[in-house]
Amino acid sequence: MHFKDDNKIRAVEINGVRQPDPALLQRPFTMPRSLRRKVFWVVLVAIVIAVICVTSYVVNYAMHDARQSESVQRVINGTQAQDVPQLSTFLGMNADQIRQYLSSSRISTIDLSSISGDSEEALDVIKIPSDISATDAVSIYQNGIDSLSGEDAARYLVNSWQLTLDSGDSVDLHLHFADFADQNPQQAVQSTVNQQGFANSSLGDSGTDASGNNYQNGSITTSDGQTYNWTVSSCPLTNVYSNDGLPANSCYVGVRIYQ
């Protein structure tokens, strides 16, 4: 076998046979300088485009969140403050008497216990804003508050509360509502204790429970000599509802009176 020996092919003689120099295959591959320049500019342009796209996305996302928060805050500021009842008002009443009280007080509610037929609760009513019909309110709760936009969720939560009475021989009343006025759960607990008329009652322990909720316990004695225990607890509203734009410092409050 013979190979052409010219300037393009280097040959060596091994055991009397001339063949291509294997050193050619061992040389490192070096990209031509002109090609390296082209590749450099292509990579640089790609990096610049990627940075622009990512920056644009982050800025637009942040602006969307800011606009959403502003819209929710306008709803909260433009809505009349909710009139949360004192839970002790309903002591001594059964489910039908509470329904009659709410009706005679012209408080618009929907009765989830009647709609769902939930046997675990004798009463489960939700006070709804005056500009929302009962039919729409039922649909909202069946679909879940989380299904609403931030503005609609705020419009609903800012002027509503939920009252439940457990079935059974013992008294067990619950009240839940969103608090957009207080800045943290500790403040929400304290203001609710005052609003519910518990401040001058016998106070018990307070702190943070195993679920991370702030709480205050206590007891009250009614005019007929009956003693009831009470608990006020609170957590961030975002722990309960995940709607975009809800204020990070808003709270979810629960009040319980039981015997």
Distances (CA, A) of 30 to 20, 27, 35: 20, 9, 10
Return the minimum-mean-pLDDT range out of 8-17, 44-53, 104-113, 163-172. 8-17
Is 4 a residue whose pLDDT tops 60? no
- Tokens 């518990």 identify what position? 198
34 within a domain of the structure (yes/no)? no
Query: What is the pLDDT confidence band of residue 16, given thresholds at 50, 70 and 90?
Result: low
In this structure, the dihedral spanned by the alpha carbons of residues 206, 208, 209 and 214, taken in order and rounded to 10 degrees, is 80
Is residue 89 predicted with pLDDT exceeding 90? yes
Between residues 247 and 163, which one has the greater pLDDT? 163
Q: Are strands 11-14 and 109-111 parallel, antiparallel or unpaired?
A: unpaired
Mean pLDDT of the chain: 82
Residue 5, pLDDT > 50, answer no
pLDDT at 19 (0 to 100): 66
Look at the chain and report how many structural domains it folds into: 1
pLDDT for position 248: 85
Is 19 inside any structural domain?
no
Q: Which domain holds residue 197?
A: 79-258
- Is 96 domain-assigned? yes
Does residue 29 fall inside a structural domain? no
In angstroms, the CA 166 to CA 174 distance is 8
Domain-embedded: residue 70: no
pTM recorded for the entire structure: 0.71
Closest Cα partner for 184 from 232, 246, 250?
A: 250
Q: What is the pLDDT of residues 182-218, one digit of tens each?
A: 989 999 999 999 999 999 999 999 999 999 999 999 9
239 versus 59: which is more confidently predicted?
239
Question: What does the block give as tokens for 190?
Answer: 């304290």
> What DSSP line would sit under 21-69, residue for residue?
-THHHHSPP---HHHHHHHHHHHHHHHHHHHHHHHHHHHHHHHHHHHHH
Could you tell me if residue 176 is inside a domain?
Answer: yes
Instruction: Tell how far CA 221 is from the center of its chain.
Output: 37
DSSP string, 174-191: EEEEEESSSSSHHHHHHH
> What pLDDT, in 10s, does the model give residues 143-155?
888 888 888 888 8
- Residue 226: pLDDT band (50, 70, 90) is very high
Q: Is residue 49 part of a domain?
A: no
Average pLDDT over residues 232-241: 95
pLDDT digits (tens, 9 = 90+) for 118-168: 556 789 999 998 878 888 888 888 888 888 888 888 888 888 899 999 877
- Distance (Å) of CA 93 to CA 87, 96, 114, 199, 232: 11, 8, 18, 23, 21
